[in-house]
Amino acid sequence: MFDLRHQEMKANLSQLGLRQKSSDITRLMALAFQRPDILSLAAGFTDSESLPVEDVREIVQEISCLETEAKASLQYGPNIGRDALRSHLTSRIANCDLDSEAELQPDRLFITNGSQQALYLAVQTLCDAGDCILVEQPTYFVFLEILQGLGVEPIPMPMDDRGDVDLDVLRTVFEKAALDGSIEKIKAVYLVSYFANPSGHSISEEVKQALGELLTEFNSSIALLEDAAYRELYYEEAHPAKSALSIDSCCDLPVLYTSTLTKPYASGLKVGYVYCNSDEWRDAMLAVKGQQDFGTSHFTQAILERALLSGRFDRHLSELRGIYNRKMQALHRCLARSLLDLGWSWAIPEGGLYLWLRSPNGLPTGSESEFHKACLDSGVFYVPGDLCFVNNAQIDYIRASFGVLSENQLEEAAERFNRAAASVDRAIAN
């Protein structure tokens, strides 16, 4: 009998196909799935204990009793997303910005498969291979993977000591690019603006305003991509900065604002949203979305719409803020016990899912480093910070996620981490 198992056919891949390499995060996640003995501070999973199992059961039960809605939710929906959900989310952005709702229009908002798809559609419709996007340093490392996959070059923005874009230095970058013509290749600036992945940093309104002015001065067709995935995951208070959608200088630019219902509620539902102030650009993204999937799952949209409109979403989110605050504190406290004396440093975040640790004396933390091996040996795992820098330029950071582990597990993970740090410190001293 003819056997297919050992056949490996060679397809003739496209440029895009040939550019793909196995994703760092996919590899990390696969490792995390495979080694249950390891406590993972790596993957950005969300808190499992608090996942809204009962909410979702109730919502599905309620929907199943509404004849029209029950069937509609299991039928195809429009490519752009459910109307009521889009209206609610438009108001939600406006409320976060403390602006009147009338200024944002629901037909400029559409639903995506998590905010990840929104970022992908944005880059596809803005950039040809060889074009450039300016990114903060550090930045969301899966965004760098999107750029790599699409052949787009990330350009690191100069950063100041507070973790903000250094606008004076950026001006000189633009001046140079305007002179040599390379400014034409710059299609967008990507900002992770609230409790950023990985740094926890938020961008002030002043910086956004000044950045908008700078961009407008040099080339007002450069788009501003604002990734607000963690905006609502603050611990005690929302960050006061308005989004670029409501900041004067930015409104002279094409602005795309992305966020998600996934991290603040249930990551298994995978629903994100995007607001775009350029109709032509939005239409192009929607056309591509139509080709990619024809609309996000109508059923998960219906669940989230009901979670939002019934108040369950915000009740859950409010609980989650406390949970992540406690988890962050637990990890911070246990790491601080040993690491501060060893010369490690980090800021205490006010939202998000990550501690962004800097090792002492430039100690390398990459996946091939002694420190990384020491951590695996001691049974703990993290995202090497170099993945978050263009060309892995900075090698002495670590992203430690406290999203999925319990407080007890976080304490144990921190102890293992501390042991690894101490052993590497001793090895260096000897």
Footprint on residues 270-309 left by its own copies (CB under 8 A): 270, 277-281, 283-284, 286-288, 290-300, 302
Residue closer to its own copies (CB basis): 69 or 370: 69
Region from 123-131, 227-235, 377-385, 393-401 binding its own copies, contact rule CB under 8 A: 123-131
Return the residues of window 47-106 that contact its own copies according to CB under 8 A: 48-49, 51-54, 56-57, 60-61, 64, 70-79, 100, 102-105
CB of 205 to its own copies, least distance (A): 14
202 binds its own copies per the rule CB under 8 A: no
CA angle 117, 120, 125 (to 5 degrees): 125
Please state the closest distance from residue 413 (CB atom) to its own copies, in A: 18
- Pick out residues in 307-366 that bind its own copies (CB under 8 A): none
Question: In whole angstroms, how close is the CB of 61 to its own copies at the nearest point?
Answer: 6
Nearer to its own copies, 206 or 283 (CB): 283
Q: Are 380 and 39 in contact (CB under 8 A)?
A: yes
Binding mask of the shown chain, residues 219 to 258, with x at each position contacting its own copies by CB under 8 A: --xxx---------------------xx-x--xxxxx---
Q: How far is the CB of 287 from its own copies (least distance, A)?
A: 4
5 binding its own copies? (CB under 8 A): yes
Q: Contact 134/370 with Cβ under 8 angstroms?
A: no
* Range 236-239, long-range pairs (CB < 8 A, 24+ positions): 236/321, 236/325, 236/350, 237/350, 238/96, 239/194, 239/195, 239/202, 239/350, 239/351
Min dist CB 135 to its own copies, Å, is 15
As measured in angstroms, the least distance from the Cβ of 208 to its own copies is: 15
Tokens for 176?
Answer: 């140079």
Verify binding: residue 13, its own copies, rule CB under 8 A. yes
| Cβ neighbours around 414 below 10 Å, total | 27
CB of 116 to its own copies, least distance (A): 5
Measured in degrees and rounded to the nearest 5, phi and psi for residue 382 equal -150, 170
> From residue 31 to residue 50, what is the string marking binding to its own copies with x (rule CB under 8 A)?
--x---------x-xx-xx-
CB closer to its own copies out of 100 and 345: 100
Nearer to its own copies, 292 or 338 (CB): 292
Cα–Cα distance measured from residue 190 to residue 203, given in angstroms and rounded to the nearest whole number: 12
* The residue type at 1: M
Q: Quick one: DSSP state of residue 261? A: S
**With contacts defined by CB under 8 A, how many residues of the chain interact with its own copies?**
111
Instruction: Take residue 81 and report the two structure tokens written for it.
Output: 């997303």
As measured in angstroms, the least distance from the Cβ of 401 to its own copies is 12
Sheet holding 397-401, edge to edge: 354-358, 397-401, 383-384
Prior bond of 198 cis (ω within 30°): yes
- Shortest Cβ distance from residue 16 to its own copies (Å)? 6
Q: Cα(71)–Cα(45) distance, rounded to whole angstroms? A: 32
What value, to the nearest 5°, has the Cα angle with vertex 296 and ends 47 and 246? 75
The amino acid present at 377, given as its one-letter code, is D
Q: Which is nearer to its own copies, 89 or 266 (CB)?
A: 266
Residues 160-189 within binding reach of its own copies (CB under 8 A): 187
Residue 360 buriedness (CB in 10 A; 0-12 / 13-18 / 19+): middle
201: left (phi over 0), alpha (psi -120 to 50) or beta: beta
CB of 81 to its own copies, least distance (A): 12
Kindly tell me which of 285 and 374 has the beta carbon lying closer to its own copies.
285
Contact of 357 with 234, CB cutoff 8 Å: no
The residue from 31, 87, 101, 124 that contacts its own copies (CB under 8 A) is 124
In the block, residue with structure tokens 């790599």: 148
